[in-house]
Structure 1
Amino acid sequence: MGRIVRTALRRSLNQIRYVEPVRPGGATGLVAAVYADVEADFGMLAPPVALHSPAPVALAATWSLLRETLVASGHASRAVKEAVAAAVSRSNTCPYCVTVHTATLEGLTSTTFEDVETWAGGAGPVRPFPAEQLPELLGVAVAFHYLNRVVNVFLGDSPLPPNAPAPARKFLGRFMGATARKDHAPGSSLRLLAEAPRPDDLAWSSGHPVIGDALGRIAAAFDAGGARALSRPARELVLDRIAAWDGTPPGLSRAWVTEAVVDLPAADRPGATLALLVAMASYQVDDGTVAAFGGDDRRLVELVSWASFAAARRMAGLLHRATEV
């Protein structure tokens, strides 16, 4: 059954929408290096990572974010990290990620982490874990606020195909749990990205040298992609809106985003609209929004990655602030 699950997950690359991922057999250069690391450390070529492959630097940044927070060994157990991943994914209504990380948690332990999940979901101001775990668990929160948005745009509701056998979810948990029990030394992904200073809003990571170093590199990579995908006025508008946002979903109406972009040049509005929706209401991104943007695969991935990471940084800042109450 493990082979069936692995095969099903590989085939789920076919479920990626809007972009064509690089297939494992055709990967070269940076894409091939990332794919090899993902297979070795995560146990499979996960579609939420592989979908970034049209933009190789964004792919490397995404893998580094996932690896150095969730996968790398540290003060917090993998089970606690998976509980954070699942809780953040529930808060963002990302059923794909909820399925994967709830199954992984169940494959690791029968222990529940209600206090940690309450904190990670944004409903509790108390930090229910030792202080030395904060950079790791906030790092996981950043990773999944990021990935949930990307997945909501590019993937469907389940990591398994519709025709997968009924026990597949249980075996998915066993498969992922077995991989998650392995130790992984921090820092191996740093070689994939250029060194860059850590932004001030990510200073909470200073207690963990590897995560702090990785986040500087990751932020620079996504910012460079955002600069290629959107004009400066569009980026500034999006960042201003995110900085003033309290993290509450804006609801089903799109009047807020129409109003937000009205003063931009007409050519900038589709990209700014897509970026704002990705950041603050990824569940509202649809075929029409993507088509109106009209970018090629690389530019689309870079826009979505930049907007998702900008929102994830804001959400982590709010979560960090809650631990200081």
Structure 2
Amino acid sequence: MIGTAVINHYITRMIDVLQTNKSIIQINNSLLNRILKRMLALIFSPSIKKRRNSGDSLIFLTRDNLPDDLYWAKSHPVICRAFASFAVAANAAGESTLTLEARTTVQHYIEDWDGKEPGISRNWAEQAVKPLTGPSKIAAKLALLTAVSPYQIDDDLIRDFRTVYKEDLQLLNVLSWSSFTAARKIGSWLSIPYT
């Protein structure tokens, strides 16, 4: 249950930032739109109906140690390995784009965060990243808003980020790392630590 909540919080943050109101394929003709949807359903239905076994996809994952804050996953080997690998991948994503100072700023804020909404103003984020400068400040602000209030991210903020970080992968790295950082914190609220 905790793993489901953590993944849900991760995905929700990613969607809040990346989702647009446009479909991948723009078709203005309702008949063609219905036909296309039906064809896609026929193409993908065998994959959806395919029987899967727990742990089959572990062959694609490395063997990593589970971080202490994800201790709740230890009781299930498949979930444990999946979250251990996810943590390594998310950390690598953050390290590849964010400076140590930017990551530390966001992590300190998240460590003290109690889950409450910061309000409609972004002043709290501006204050948190105030000690940073240049690209680190821009990236840390995006990461912090993604983690705590992704609904406050707008096109202007993404445009500011893109002036320094040109690659799509850099944007995805920041969003992935910060979304998973927040989701991990939320997961820690849902469990009682082992003694």
Give your verdict on TM over 0.5: yes
Aligned to 1:144: 8
* Partners of 2:93 and 2:176 in 1: CA distance: 8
Aligned to 2:62: 194
Deviations, residues 134-158 of structure 1 (Å, cap 9, x unaligned): xxx2111111100111111111358
Aligned to 1:275: 143
* Partners of 2:8 and 2:28 in 1: CA distance: 27
Higher RCO (C-alpha 8 Å, min separation 6): 2
Q: Does 1:238 align with 2:103?
A: no
Letter in 2 for 1:276: L
Q: Does 1:223 align with 2:107?
A: no
Deviations, residues 60-100 of structure 1 (Å, cap 9, x unaligned): xxxxxxxxxxxxxxxxxxxxxxxxxxxxxxxxxxxxxxxxx
Q: How do 1:2-13 residues align onto structure 2 when only pairs under 5 Å count?
A: none
* Partners of 1:164 and 1:206 in 2: CA distance: 51
The verdict on how the C-alpha distance between 1:190 and 1:259 changes in structure 2, with shifts beyond 3 A counting, is same
Aligned to 2:17: 153
Gaps of 5+ in 2: none
Q: Is the 8 A contact 1:198 1:216 kept in 2?
A: yes
Aligned to 1:297: 168
RMSD: 2.8
The verdict on how the C-alpha distance between 1:258 and 1:319 changes in structure 2, with shifts beyond 3 A counting, is same
Deviations, residues 141-187 of structure 1 (Å, cap 9, x unaligned): 1111001111111113587979696xx8xx99xx7999777642112
The verdict on how the C-alpha distance between 1:203 and 1:257 changes in structure 2, with shifts beyond 3 A counting, is same
The verdict on how the C-alpha distance between 1:158 and 1:249 changes in structure 2, with shifts beyond 3 A counting, is farther
Gaps of 5+ in 1: 1-136
Q: TM-score, normalised by structure 2?
A: 0.82
Percent identity between the two aligned chains: 35
> Paired residues, what number?
181
Q: TM-score, normalised by structure 1?
A: 0.50
Aligned to 1:318: 189
Q: Is the 8 A contact 1:193 1:221 kept in 2?
A: no
